[in-house]
């Protein structure tokens, strides 16, 4: 029994012709796995390594560098909510926003709500400073968050 | 003469992302003419003549960079598009890719034609999901229209373009960090030489250009180098090392202003004009205390320095590291420099890749010491220690492989130099930062 489904394997294999070296598929493969499984289990690391002719240590070495991928003991919720707190956002209330979200969701930054729906995280600049304070809902920007429209956002994410 | 924006001219136009809309507004005209009538050497000469300097932060002359590729190289040449825009305060590449992806893509195809690259990788930061989707659609449309793939426009010119998503690491914007990351490794910058033009991605000759730089290439080929050179600030004839500040530039303005946003202006606009005229002034009727002139790494300007022109020389003359990405972050006179500097140090401590000890340890200590200060436990000698760290980490003092540490050191040094009385008063008072009330657990 493998942890990577045949569908996932096909998606990973389809990327191989794009690069002159199999190792270059490491990050795209990790993204595909985490998008589907909400984490990258150790078995998935071994299986990716097998597919790319690498040692599991090489895949783990790359993966652990980015701080973006979650281990199986700490998976993401259905939605990853990143709150930017770099300078432009901090100046316009990002710390307050993060605190407010943390209280409303009942989890510290980094934590996932018990129903598994939302993982709250802090982020460094997400490149939408004209709409500070801003957040990312998975990979979609939401700009100009206010104490008022935060509730609407959470209602949407809890659906 | 009124300035006519070109880089943002399609932004806000309905369906600006679509190929037919882009073409109806003059898009791909430059590419068709170049491929049918010009040689790669002609293109390189035009970009050289235009004086275009890289928009990603370092300001290196673009045409010159292209000439560093080995002549008559047999085998693949790669083009990497640096779309890892992560410098705090900067978001112009995002706007270009989201709203006008074909303009960027046309620049990519032109650059590939000029440099004889046959594969282009967009290294795109993961956070830019909308860019990923709009660029992929544009690439698909371009393949279908024979603007990408084999025998482009019926000529012996082949180009494949792939999007490659990052995973949230600032260091991937450093060009050799980008290459390592693309290759599937941790993004540890390489020791140079060899430079990427000689040995880059997959150990092959590689050109790396920023998104805005490539968008400029489109217009240089379309309108000619003379047009580009008529905009901006000419080189100082008395200084042979000044390469000038030519062309339009996308300025990002954020922080405590009434109207944050991205505006296209000739290089050389002053901070004051940018804030007052283009960002509707400082918010809440307040006064500015200072700003970051070009992304966090460049250091600080005080309000008294707001007449600094934002060209490649202006910020340097005012003690900053450079123009950087021309992203201006304004903070008002109610802001605490202690909080601003702590936030800055946290960013660099978080983003140091850990390869070079001076950077890894230095940024860590910067964070610990500024945290101590904001908690009311600072000591007067901490300022001296911070300055010492700022002066000893980076490429310039020769202690690190890449410039991340210089970028961490500059805001630290300029903050203490230009706002010293505020830091001294804060330390003496033993106060705690008010920011701690809302950010105690994170």
All residues of chain A having their beta carbon less than 8 Å from the beta carbon of residue B262 are 130
pLDDT band, very low/low/confident/very high, at B168 (cuts 50, 70, 90): very high
Of A61, A62, A88, the CB nearest to B329: A88
List the 116-155 stretch of B: residues with Cβ below 8 A of A. Answer: 125-130, 132
Contact A141, A128 (CB under 8 A): yes
pLDDT band, very low/low/confident/very high, at B214 (cuts 50, 70, 90): very high
Contact A19/B202, CB-based, under 8 Å? yes
Least Cα separation, residue B164 to chain A (angstroms): 7
In Å, how far are A50, A102, B89, B303 from A81, measured between CA atoms?
Answer: 32, 11, 20, 36
All residues of chain A having their beta carbon less than 8 Å from the beta carbon of residue B339 are 90
All residues of chain B having their beta carbon less than 8 Å from the beta carbon of residue A125 are 86-90, 296, 347
Residues B290-340 pLDDT 10s: 999 999 999 999 999 999 999 999 999 999 999 999 999 999 999 999 999
Calpha distance B54→B107 (Å, rounded)? 13
All residues of chain A having their beta carbon less than 8 Å from the beta carbon of residue B260 are 88, 129-132
Structure tokens at B219: 């217009």
Calpha distance B269→B309 (Å, rounded)? 5
Calpha distance B205→B402 (Å, rounded)? 20
Residues A23-39 pLDDT 10s: 999 999 999 999 999 99
Contact B332, B288 (CB under 8 A): yes
CA–chain centroid gap for B23, Å, is 28
Output the CA torsion A54→A50→B84→A125 (10° steps): -110
Contact A123/B127, CB-based, under 8 Å? yes
Interface predicted TM-score of the whole assembly (ipTM), two decimals: 0.97
Cβ–Cβ pairs < 8 A, chains A and B: 167
Contact A96/B438, CB-based, under 8 Å? yes
All residues of chain A having their beta carbon less than 8 Å from the beta carbon of residue B202 are 19-21, 24
The verdict on pTM exceeding 0.90 is yes
A24 contacts chain B (CB < 8 A): yes
pLDDT for A26: 98
Helix (H, G, I), strand (E, B) or coil at B338: helix
Helix ranges (H only) for B116-236 are 129-144, 175-182, 211-223, 225-229
Examine the pLDDT at B442 and tell me if it is beyond 70: no
pLDDT band, very low/low/confident/very high, at B91 (cuts 50, 70, 90): very high
Calpha distance A147→A145 (Å, rounded)? 7
B262 contacts chain A (CB < 8 A): yes
Mutate: best of A15, A65, A105, partner B, most B CBs <10 A = A65
In Å, how far are A118, B42, B440 from B303, measured between CA atoms?
Answer: 42, 45, 30
Contact B117, B77 (CB under 8 A): yes
DSSP assignment of A118-137: EEEEEES--S-GGG-S-EEE
Contact A141/B130, CB-based, under 8 Å? yes
Residues B415-439 pLDDT 10s: 999 999 999 999 999 999 999 988 7
Calpha distance B77→B204 (Å, rounded)? 6
First CA to last CA across chain A, in angstroms? Answer: 34
All residues of chain A having their beta carbon less than 8 Å from the beta carbon of residue B344 are 87
């Amino acid at each position: 029994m493998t942890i990577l489904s045949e569908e996932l394997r096909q998606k990973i294999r389809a990327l191989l012709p794009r690069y002159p070296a199999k190792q270059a598929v490491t990050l795209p493969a990790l993204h595909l796995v985490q998008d589907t499984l909400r984490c990258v289990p150790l078995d998935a690391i071994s299986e990716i390594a097998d597919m790319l002719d690498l040692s599991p240590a090489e895949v783990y070495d790359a993966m652990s560098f980015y701080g973006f991928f979650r281990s199986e003991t700490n998976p993401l919720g259905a939605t990853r909510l990143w709150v930017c707190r770099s300078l432009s956002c901090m100046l316009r209330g990002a710390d307050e926003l993060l605190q407010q979200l943390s209280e409303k969701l009942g989890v510290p930054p980094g934590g996932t709500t018990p129903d598994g729906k939302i993982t709250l995280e802090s982020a460094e600049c997400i490149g939408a400073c004209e709409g500070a304070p801003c957040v990312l809902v998975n990979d979609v920007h939401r700009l100009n968050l206010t104490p008022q429209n935060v509730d609407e956002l959470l209602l949407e994410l809890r659906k | 003469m009124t300035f006519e924006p070109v880089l943002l001219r399609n932004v806000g136009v309905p369906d600006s992302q679509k190929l037919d809309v882009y073409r109806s507004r003059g898009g791909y005209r430059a590419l068709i003419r170049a491929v049918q009538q010009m040689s790669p050497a002609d293109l390189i000469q035009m970009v050289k003549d235009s004086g275009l300097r890289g928009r990603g932060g370092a300001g290196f002359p673009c045409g010159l960079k292209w000439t560093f590729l080995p002549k008559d190289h047999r085998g693949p040449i790669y083009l990497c598009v640096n779309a890892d825009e992560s410098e705090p305060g900067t978001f112009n590449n995002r706007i270009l890719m989201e709203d006008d992806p074909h303009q960027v893509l046309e620049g990519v195809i032109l650059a590939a034609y000029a440099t004889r690259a046959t594969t282009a990788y967009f290294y795109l930061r993961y956070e830019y999901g909308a860019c990923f989707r709009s660029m992929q659609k544009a690439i698909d449309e371009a393949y279908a229209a024979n603007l990408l793939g084999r025998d482009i426009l019926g000529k012996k010119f082949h180009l494949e373009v792939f999007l490659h998503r990052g995973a949230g690491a600032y260091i991937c914007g450093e060009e050799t960090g980008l290459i390592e990351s693309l290759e599937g490794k941790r993004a540890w910058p390489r020791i140079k030489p060899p430079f990427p033009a000689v040995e880059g991605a997959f150990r092959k000759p590689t050109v790396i250009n920023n998104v805005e730089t490539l968008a400029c290439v489109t217009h240089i080929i379309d309108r000619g180098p003379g047009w580009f050179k008529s905009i901006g600030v000419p080189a100082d004839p008395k200084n042979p090392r000044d390469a000038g500040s030519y062309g339009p530039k996308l300025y990002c303005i954020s922080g405590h202003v009434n109207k944050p946003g991205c505006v296209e202006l000739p290089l050389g606009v002053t901070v004051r004009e940018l804030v007052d005229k283009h960002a509707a002034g400082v918010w809440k009727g307040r006064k500015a205390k200072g700003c970051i002139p070009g992304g966090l790494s460049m250091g600080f300007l005080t309000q008294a320095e707001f007449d600094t022109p934002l060209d490649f020389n202006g910020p340097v003359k005012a003690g900053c590291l450079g123009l950087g990405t021309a992203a201006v972050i304004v903070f008002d006179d109610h802001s605490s420099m202690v909080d601003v500097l702590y936030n800055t140090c946290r960013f660099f401590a978080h983003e140091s890749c850990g390869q070079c000890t001076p950077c890894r340890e230095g940024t860590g200590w910067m964070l610990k010491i500024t945290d101590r200060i904001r908690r009311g436990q600072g000591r007067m000698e901490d300022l001296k220690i911070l300055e010492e760290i700022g002066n000893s980490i980076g490429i310039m003092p020769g202690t690190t492989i890449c410039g991340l540490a210089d970028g961490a050191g500059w805001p630290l040094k300029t903050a203490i130099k230009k706002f010293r009385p505020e830091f001294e008063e804060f330390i003496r008072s033993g106060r705690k930062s008010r920011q701690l009330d809302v950010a105690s657990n994170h």
